[in-house]
Structure 1
Amino acid sequence: MDGLTLCPYELKYKTAKFDLTMHAEEKGEELQFTWEYSTALFERETVERWAGHWLRLLKQVTENPDVRLGDIDLLTETEKDQLFKTFNSTKADYPENKTIQQLFEEQAERTPDHIAIAFKDRTLTYRELNKRANRLAHALRRRGVQPNDVIGLMMERSPDMIIGILGILKSGAAFVPVDPDYPAQRIRLMIEDSSASIFVAQSHLAERLPSAVTMIEADSSAMRNESEDNPAAVNEPEHFFYVIYTSGTTGKPKGVMLNHRNFVNLIHFQLTKTDVDFSHAVLQYATFNFDASYHEIFSTLLSGGRLQLITKEQRTDVNELLGIIEDNRIQVLFLPPSFLKFVFQNKDYAERFPACVRHIACAGEQLVVTAEMKKALCEKQITLHNYYGPSETHVVTTLTMKPGDLIDDFPAIGKPISNTRIYLLNDSKKPVPIGVDGELYIAGDSVGPGYMNQAQLTAEKFEADPFHSGGSMYQTGDLARWLPDGNIKYIGRIDHQIKIRGYRIELDEIEQRLLAHEAVKEAAVIVRADAAGDKTLCAYYTAKLPVGTDELRGHLASALPAYMLPSFLTELERMPVTANGKLNRKALPEPKHLAGATYVEPSTATEAQLAVLWQETLGLDRVGADDHFFELGGHSLKAMNLVARIHQELDTEVPLRELFRHPTVRELAAWIEANGSASPYAAIQPAPRNIKRKGD
């Protein structure tokens, strides 16, 4: 090769042979370590942190060869400062010496003629709402109500609910919301545990309460003679604000207590440290037995905004709900992630989503942001907020994603709110470095007092803060990791607690209820997710006596709320176990989608069309005329999806409540033929297409 000249060339860049390699070689009296890593996977700062941890490990092991691995402290002093002083630098002033009702009274004085709540064709100004709550408060005071007393609250969604909440707080007591749709046994357990001898309730719900309970109507004619003046304050910020009952591991619900200071800190953060404007119109969407509802209510009422109430039926009817949001120019929404995903996955709902909405806050479960959601949020200029916090503390971290931001499919849960500290600890309760999974602990002014009448459980979950003198911290059972920018990434649970459609569920409670049936020998409950990420409760049991699934469903429904009822009940000859004899949950079989005992061919065109839609919604090969939607694995979100499909394909508006009332193909088809009508939004919906049965 004439003219070719060879000369040495030193490669400036190298290609890593593996994702991560550490080389060690002797250099005289020293050991030299070299890290080689793939830059497509790791940042230089990450590897540098690991190198520092490696040196810390070597130093501690050589100084103390008998040290337990869990006791080794990997953090450098610089990292400790970053975790404790930078990421948790949340100290901020707030009205810590005031109660929620005092702050409301101040707002009512500032904006007496502003509309505070709206419901159907009824509105109440701040002046009117304050006066009616005062009447109730004085009536409760005359009955001897004291601070830290717990007053029951059983209401359907209405202005009376808000009057009841404020009236109880103004009396100095705390409230415990009791859903009138709960089974009688669960209502009784909540009343007994909370010792609520007085209930503020609507008269038509009196039959749901024990005879020993004193019932008071929030806004009855009997209240007209009570004083409308603000009652003198008798409670302090450390007194109870509410007791909310959540699923418990013992087979019984447990009462989570929060005090006024906890809630005042959250609301003050919401109103002063975020860009959400609550002084306009806010939708009250969450159920009253879910803590998010009080975030909605008091963020609005303490800023002079208008709280738009909706009925139970409107809450689950997406078409009507979107219409209410549009008609009332709602700017702020709190929605469960699964419901938000459902709305934006449906093209028609996404296109109709009102342009007036400026902020959507999600809480209660892992937020998953699909491509459709990202597109809609950007086009409609909506800011998305991811909130995280268990009932024991309410919201403790937030992440804000503005239009045009690069949003992860699984966004972080954000950074700590004001006066709140987050610790990620290993099994030895030592802080873990950035990027390493640890259990999430919460400390600071967000931590509540604990559980009602459960001193042992409170002592197990709430303990002294080892990093901050005089404080306490709550052990969440959640796994998370710090990101380099100070945000926190949620990983999952370390136990059997799960979140489904915004509800917190202890699987142990469902299992204990199954085992309470005399025919059940063993029980196990797990969660399965389909390809779309939709979660379903699946129960398995072995029997010591013959028992049918219908009987077991009734047994569960007599004590558990609807959201805790398994979609599938599967009998097994024996439970799968691991080599050491423990239940092998991963080996539990896929549940069978059981149709009725006898397949009945659809006999009308409407029945045939509905059967096909049910098949597609539930992922089944065949659905008969007498098959029951909810016994085939259907739940509330799938029900909304089915109603939407019926609307699209049959051009017929079916309120969700009618599916619950007519849960078989035959029953719903008959209702549609007798009552079905075109949707008020039919003009902007796509024309229906002909539906053929699978196999035709």
Structure 2
Amino acid sequence: MDNYRALLAKQIEGIIASHRDKVAYSLGDREVTYAELDEMASHIASGVARRVLDSAAPDDVPVRIGISLGRGDHFVPCILAAVKLGCSYVPIDVVTPQERIDFISQDASLAVLITADNLPEFLESPLMETLPLLSRGVSEAYMIYTSGTTGQPKGVSQSYRTLYSYMLTVCLPDNFNISEKSVVLQFASINFDVSVLEIFAALFYGGTLVIAQEEEKHNPLLVHRLMKEKGITYTFMPPSLLAVFPDYDFPAMDTLSAGGEAIPHSLTSKIAGKYPYRFVNGYGPTESIVTTTHEIEGPDDWKNIGKPVPGVVCYVADESGKLVAPGEQGELLIAGMQLTNGYWNRPDLNATMFFENPYEKVHDGIDVSTLYHSGDLVTLNEDGSFNYIGRKDSQIKLHGYRIELGEICTKIEKQEGVLRAFVRLEEIGAEKYIVAYVRTSDEVKSLDGIKEILSRQLPPYMMPTFWNKVRDFQLNINGKIDKTALVNEAVNEIAINDTSLTPKESLLMEAVAGLLGLPGVNVNADLFNDVGITSLHVMQLTVQMGMSGINLTVNDFYTLRTIRRIMAAEKHPFAFWYEDSGKDPGKPVIIVLGGFTSFTFIFDDWAKKVSKKYAIFAVESYHTITDDKLVDMDGLVDLYIPLVKEVVETRNVVCLTGFCAGGEQALALAIRLYNDKPYKPRVVVLDGELDRDISLQEAVKPAYFFPFYDDVRNNARADLDIHLMATMPEEAYKGPVTSIISDIYTDESAVSTFKKTPEMMQREKEEFFTNEARWKRRYPDCELIKSPTNHNEFLITRESKDFIADYFLHHFCPEEN
């Protein structure tokens, strides 16, 4: 075995020795120091060593430890245990079907498979005085299984040489700039090779790893908060998740990487160059260890996957093998120090995918004698970087996973009664789906049984969403399946509802359909198995519904699974105490009206800070309370009164507040509750307006439209918004008033892509710049404060949240009342 394992182990051992009391990784409130990590890894390694030494195994097979653990705090010491023993680890996601686990265990000849069931046995294993080196066969640090064309996954083996060489490059300032000061987010599944970068980069340099818990991993607002609270300096995120973050203001961030799928221009333009940190587009197949190329993005560089990282050499060749000139496209060929050992037990595939370099054997001192067919088409740029185009074979990349459609097809055709199958990726609406077409014998009446068997053999991300039973396949003149004759009938069945829907069911149905670009969604369909939503869709839906005024959790989707069951179980109250802030009856109370969005969506971070001093009583969005039925302001206040009555009568309410429409409604509620009473709490209106130009609101009405609702829904919601503005009481509140208004104009809508005309923008500007005067005209004695932000960033950016929280904690004076 080469000495790279020893070099890697020596580096990590040195880090442990010099950072014993430093936090190596955290998970929720649990923090594990480097000393504790080392002790756990040593116990696990001792237990593994005893098992391996007591068993017989061929000398040409590396000792491999299978790790199939959830997002607990033990998979990191299990990986370190493998390094201590000089053996390899094979990560297996806990959601992997048992048949696939069995295949991997047999194919990899796993010496040990560590699971939640037997983990205690290894943690409690007595320490060996000296750990043996269990290396044998080829040098291998880890092996990750990916989709294969034969109906079975293939193991991609990576050596200690490639891992150690890669770790030496991630610290470079023009790479990921990892150091002992780094706080790295561990977000990826351990059977996704990005986890190799996350885990080893932190341990190699003595940084701290922050492991995202399962709930955080599936909720964009929670992982967004985690990144801010833990001061994350480096993370690698899927673009689909980044796209639904409320903002990208991470004060501690040094490098934010994105990859695994194409980065849209809309995302690049929001991040690149807008913040002090770097935004990096990372590309790389598992065969070339995580990142093969990368690009520090500019606002218009979203197609550019950059240049090779140090130690990697890439070529672009046409179909004849000739190297292309700048501006031309071809297949990206990869060589260098990060290239895999090859596919385990797959000599035929190795002969196809790896070949001798006909161009050169050494490049700038790097051995490039072997080339890998990436299968990715790119355009070569003048500066040596590449623009990604797509795939040239049947392999697809979906939601960050590389999938061989041939493997799925082979699995289907092995089922009893299946005569022939065809599987392809189809673009339906706004999404891409794996669609299966299956011809069976007459005895097979339904594909349900076949689907159920495949769900035990394939991981969820490889399961076709739509299944079509075909009588026969039409063939073209070449005797191949005529793809143009295939019609996906299954998608139509999913879109139809044969029962009436409640208002809330309609709301979620339209959000799901709008997100996926479907004409509709059956409320009884399984959103995952039948409709094909992913964990990223769930994150987007929780945000979208929060913006709409309904607070749903990630767990609601995973446990209830259909629109009907989710909305039937939606018991979120219209009014509630924020966390446990209302337990102390002597604590002064702030009543918050959620307004346009749900309370949690916009006020959660603010409430977390302010609730240390005040009890927070939240009233949900008026859209939720009214079911978007048209009411005037008096009618809305009638609905609010019963929700706040007990709090008002029994507690010391010192303030009513809300953002935008919510703040204006707080004024209307205060007028009704307190104008005739001696005690009048302060009303704090957060960027609201008085005496709005209703004709202007009618003109820009589409700016209130959500992209995921249809016109009927959007018109009803916007009509309610505008009617409430038009029916604000003319009577003034007789108590103290504070108006905190934005100081920067923006012509962009927070929810819509509607483009306003120059005339509309001019009228909006005039109204914006007269807002202060209108407040002073109605309330001459009001406290008027300008916030250095625009309306769309109010309570969204860190500066705005801090500014508003600081006012309530240090400048708001309830004793005035």
Scaled to the shorter chain, the TM-score interval is 0.7 to 0.9
Matched, 1:499 2:397: yes
Shift of 1:167: 0.6
Partner of 1:461: 353
Partner of 1:381: 276
Matched, 1:199 2:113: yes
Letter in 1 for 2:76: I
Matched, 1:359 2:255: yes
The CA distance in 1 between the partners of 2:5 and 2:517, in whole Å, is: 55
Q: 1:679 to 1:199 in 2, by over 3 A?
A: farther
Shift of 1:526: 1.6
The CA distance in 2 between the partners of 1:372 and 1:458, in whole Å, is: 37
Matched, 1:589 2:487: yes
Letter in 1 for 2:246: A
Partner of 1:313: 215
Partner of 1:610: 508
Conserved 8 A contact 1:163-1:218: no
Q: Which of 412, 429, 433 is equivalent to 1:514?
A: 412
Q: C-alpha offsets along residues 645-676 of structure 1, whole Å, 9 cap, x if unaligned?
A: 22222331x22232121112221112212789
Matched, 1:121 2:29: yes
Partner of 1:425: 317
Matched, 1:651 2:550: yes
The CA distance in 1 between the partners of 2:559 and 2:139, in whole Å, is: 43
Partner of 1:48: none
Matched, 1:276 2:174: no
Q: Which of 533, 541, 561 is equivalent to 1:634?
A: 533
Higher relative contact order at CA 8 Å, sep ≥6: structure 1 or structure 2? Answer: 1
Partner of 1:31: none
The CA distance in 1 between the partners of 2:267 and 2:514, in whole Å, is: 21
Partner of 1:439: 331
Q: Which of 228, 233, 244 is equivalent to 1:331?
A: 233
Letter in 1 for 2:141: F
Deviates more, 1:255-264 or 1:617-626: 617-626
Q: C-alpha offsets along residues 186-226 of structure 1, whole Å, 9 cap, x if unaligned?
A: 111111111113122222xxxxxxxxxxx554763x23x31
The CA distance in 1 between the partners of 2:520 and 2:488, in whole Å, is: 18
Conserved 8 A contact 1:648-1:687: no
Shift of 1:144: 3.5
Letter in 2 for 1:408: D
Conserved 8 A contact 2:311-2:338: yes
Partner of 1:131: 39
Q: 1:453 to 1:556 in 2, by over 3 A?
A: same
Matched, 1:397 2:305: no
Q: 1:253 to 1:372 in 2, by over 3 A?
A: closer
Shift of 1:158: 1.9
Q: C-alpha offsets along residues 57-107 of structure 1, whole Å, 9 cap, x if unaligned?
A: xxxxxxxxxxxxxxxxxxxxxxxxxxxxxxxxxxxxxx9574433321122
Partner of 1:287: 189
- Matched residue SS, 2:536: helix
Partner of 2:65: 151
- Matched residue SS, 2:66: strand
Q: 1:393 to 1:293 in 2, by over 3 A?
A: same
Partner of 1:183: 97
Matched, 1:350 2:246: yes
The CA distance in 2 between the partners of 1:589 and 1:382, in whole Å, is: 47
- Matched residue SS, 2:402: strand
- Matched residue SS, 2:327: coil
Alignment of 1:559-598 (within 5 A): 559-590=457-488, 592-595=490-493
Partner of 2:769: none
Partner of 2:632: none
Alignment of 1:226-245 (within 5 A): 226-227=127-128, 231=131, 235=135, 239-245=139-145
| Root-mean-square deviation over aligned CA pairs | 3.0
Partner of 1:665: 563
Aligned length in residues:
577
- Matched residue SS, 2:452: helix
The CA distance in 1 between the partners of 2:337 and 2:15, in whole Å, is: 23
The CA distance in 2 between the partners of 1:230 and 1:269, in whole Å, is: 32
Can you give the 5+ residue segments of structure 1 that lack an aligned partner in the other structure? 1-94, 204-214, 344-348
Letter in 1 for 2:285: P
Q: Which of 534, 537, 540 is equivalent to 2:434?
A: 537
Partner of 1:67: none
The CA distance in 2 between the partners of 1:372 and 1:597, in whole Å, is: 30
The CA distance in 1 between the partners of 2:544 and 2:622, in whole Å, is: 10
The CA distance in 2 between the partners of 1:624 and 1:586, in whole Å, is: 27
Letter in 1 for 2:437: Y
Conserved 8 A contact 1:648-1:688: no
Conserved 8 A contact 1:602-1:608: no
Letter in 2 for 1:271: C
The CA distance in 2 between the partners of 1:374 and 1:128, in whole Å, is: 43
Shift of 1:535: 2.3
- Matched residue SS, 1:518: coil
Deviates more, 1:427-436 or 1:299-308: 427-436
The CA distance in 1 between the partners of 2:519 and 2:628, in whole Å, is: 15
- Matched residue SS, 1:226: coil
Q: 1:169 to 1:393 in 2, by over 3 A?
A: same
Q: 1:520 to 1:323 in 2, by over 3 A?
A: same
The CA distance in 1 between the partners of 2:354 and 2:120, in whole Å, is: 37
The CA distance in 1 between the partners of 2:194 and 2:401, in whole Å, is: 11
Can you give the 5+ residue segments of structure 2 that lack an aligned partner in the other structure? 54-58, 577-597, 606-619, 630-708, 714-817
- Matched residue SS, 2:273: helix
Matched, 1:452 2:344: yes
The CA distance in 2 between the partners of 1:622 and 1:465, in whole Å, is: 52
Q: 1:353 to 1:671 in 2, by over 3 A?
A: farther
The CA distance in 1 between the partners of 2:467 and 2:527, in whole Å, is: 15
What TM-score results when the alignment is normalised by the length of structure 2? Answer: 0.66
Q: 1:157 to 1:465 in 2, by over 3 A?
A: same
Q: 1:576 to 1:114 in 2, by over 3 A?
A: farther
Conserved 8 A contact 1:441-1:475: yes
Letter in 2 for 1:645: Q
The CA distance in 2 between the partners of 1:382 and 1:590, in whole Å, is: 45
The CA distance in 2 between the partners of 1:580 and 1:596, in whole Å, is: 34
Matched, 1:524 2:422: yes
Q: 1:521 to 1:176 in 2, by over 3 A?
A: same
The CA distance in 2 between the partners of 1:422 and 1:504, in whole Å, is: 20
Conserved 8 A contact 1:177-1:244: yes
The CA distance in 2 between the partners of 1:192 and 1:666, in whole Å, is: 42
Q: 1:581 to 1:549 in 2, by over 3 A?
A: same
Letter in 2 for 1:266: Y
